[in-house]
Chains A and B, each alone.
Chain A
Amino acid sequence: MTRIDSHLHVFAKVSAEFPREPTPVCPPDREETAEKLLAEMEANGIDQAMLVQTGGTEIKHHAYLLHCLKTYPDRFLGIGLVPPNLSEPEDHMDRLTDGTGIIGFRLSSIGGPRDPFTRINIKEIKTYPIWKHAAEKDYVLWLYPRAIDAHLLQHLIDAFPQVRIVLNHLGICPGKDKFSWDAKGRPRIETVEYNPAFHTTHRLACFENVMMHISGQYAFSNEAYPYRDLARWHQRILDLFGAKRLMWATDFPWILEDPGYGQLTGLLKELLPDLRDDEYDDIMGENAKRFLRFPNRA
């Protein structure tokens, strides 16, 4: 059975070869390399992974991601970013995906009316050209929407049933001013227990082209690993999406210190202990292999 970590990040020190935008958590001299990731994967029986761009949206910022995909073509696929104010994103998308191993793009801002009662014309939504081009070119869309944008997704996904959609991190949509970095350098998203996602992103389970990530627990939980306060959310997501439409991920490198890569490879058995073996295999990699079309390893 193939084991795939379906969402994580790698980055290099800032250099002329690998430019990126530093942040307080990712200063210029920090690196979390593909080789470091591969060592963790090898140690824990993980075969392949999806590298998700971090460190900037411009083409040049994707240099290290492209390097990793070229160096390890049978181990990784990639998800790119699109500059937020690009009115014609098609060329950017095509350049990044042209034989590179990048198969899609991550969106956090959707860009439509704030009021859910506004009559929606999807062509007026800011990211409409990205969705349209993804439909035309079979690109995957990787969604981590802001809370204010969650109501727009139903309209776009309904209009583009051919686009493969992956909802990140349990479908949670971060609220304004609810994001921070914790003392261990991990993203922290303040969430309410009765989460609005139950009535927005989780309802998108009715679309067969939508998958959900089982990941990011550390950012939402109020408990230490194994985050048992989120067990009901996991069961609910399993009930709605079914085991064929969930994908496990670690969100490396943020989890390296706490709880550690190895711990996260065992999280499913902690939070969904009643999974059958075939369901476990699906969520731990078979679904990602099929839906994201990972190559067979050499």
Chain B
Amino acid sequence: MIRPTEAQTTQWEEKGYLVFEDAIQGDELKRLQNVFDYWAEKCKPAWLDRIEAGEAAASFYDIPDPFDKDEIFVDLIDHPSYYGSLMAFTDDDLILLGPQVRTVPPGPVCYTGWHPDVPQSNPLHIKVQVYVNDVEPESGEFAFVPGSHKPDAGPYSKAQRLAAMPGHKRFPAKAGTAIMFNSYGWHTAMDNHTDTPRKSLILIYEKRTSGRVDPKRFASIAHLCTTPERRKLFCLEE
């Protein structure tokens, strides 16, 4: 397990994010891209029907139940590129809440605005966003306000153009880059002014607390969780 360096730990604590370039690369990245595109295409008609029925937003698209679709989505949850940092920042007491395998269409208005995911009263909540394709500037890249995860930060306003958020940092990057961030912090996806959809995985973790452990949540992939560490991560055992 690759633990974070002292510099990474300091940045995590001070800024609230870490970037892992080439976290996924080579054949593994190609396989991820192929699997992603295959299932995105296959599941798209049902998503379009749900949009028409008023049951799904047209501004982003998640492949449903990705763990049941392909093992690579499971393998990315405890990927060695960033798993050690996740464990270090949660005192080796990490659980997975879920994955979002997401495609965002181009458009002048992104599907979300600046927001934190959880209040400070929530157990430490961490997301890892893995880019599946190259994400250029102005193409829906992830953005974060460094330091906004701290209890005394802010206040910040929702009601503004994304680009107007003071002090924000944008993360255009190559496919295979993973961005880990503290979800107390204010973040968004930027507007996409290109013709290229943004494809990424958003992996959602939390420091383990008894109220959040649900052994049923990932029971369907228990056969893929053969080590004690994985069974703990996927809430299959205490």
Contacts and interface: CB of A to CB of B under 8 A. Distances in A.
B181 to A, nearest CB: 20
Nearest to A179: B54
Interface string A46-83: 00000000000000000000000000000000000000
Contact of B54 (A151, A175, A205, A239): A175
B119 interface: no
B147 interface: no
Interface string A237-259: 00111100000000000000000
Interface string A183-225: 0000000111000101110011111000000000000000000
Contacts of B52: 114, 147-148, 175-176
B39 interface: no
A256 to B, nearest CB: 27
Contacts of B158: 239-240
Contacts of B54: 147, 173-176, 178, 190-192, 196
Contacts of A178: 53-54
A150 B112 CA distance: 15
B108 A242 contact: no
A203 B159 contact: no
Contacts of B59: 116, 151, 199-200, 203
A115 B47 CA distance: 10
Interface in A106-139: 114-117, 119-120
Interface string B32-48: 00000000000010001
B161 interface: yes
Interface in B132-165: 158-162
A169 to B, nearest CB: 13
Interface in A153-187: 154-155, 158, 173-178
Contacts of A241: 159
Of B51, B113, B158, most buried by chain A (CB within 10 Å of CB) is: B51
B213 to A, nearest CB: 24
Contact of B58 (A150, A190, A198, A240): A150
Interface in A249-279: none
Interface string B161-205: 110000000000000000000000000000000010100000000
Contacts of A190: 54
- Give the size range of A's interface with the partner: 35 or more
Contacts of B48: 114-115
Contacts of A240: 113, 158-159
Contacts of B195: 119
A200 B160 contact: no
Contacts of A174: 54
B159 A199 contact: no
Contacts of A206: 109, 113, 160-162
Given A155-B107, A199-B111, A177 B160 contact: no
A192 B197 contact: no
A192 B197 CA distance: 26
Nearest to A208: B161
Given A240-B158, A242-B159, A116 B53 contact: no
B105 interface: yes
Interface string B101-116: 0010111111111000
Given A203-B109, A203-B110, A192 B58 contact: no
B60 A151 contact: no
A196 B109 contact: no
Nearest to B59: A199
A131 to B, nearest CB: 15
Interface in B84-142: 103, 105-113
Contact of B56 (A177, A196, A203): A196
Contacts of B58: 116, 147-148, 150-151, 196, 200
A154 B57 contact: no
B189 to A, nearest CB: 11
A116 B111 CA distance: 12
A191 B54 CA distance: 7
B55 interface: yes
A198 B57 contact: yes
A203 B113 contact: yes
16 contacts: A115-B48, A119-B106, A147-B52, A147-B58, A151-B58, A151-B107, A155-B108, A175-B52, A176-B52, A176-B54, A199-B60, A199-B111, A203-B111, A206-B161, A206-B162, A242-B159
Given A117-B103, A147-B52, 4 more contacts: A115-B44, A116-B51, A175-B53, A196-B57
Sorted nearest first, the 8 A-B pairs with minimum C-beta distance are A175-B54, A151-B58, A199-B57, A147-B54, A196-B57, A154-B109, A158-B108, A175-B53
Interface of A: 114-117, 119-120, 147-148, 150-151, 154-155, 158, 173-178, 190-192, 196, 198-200, 203-207, 239-242
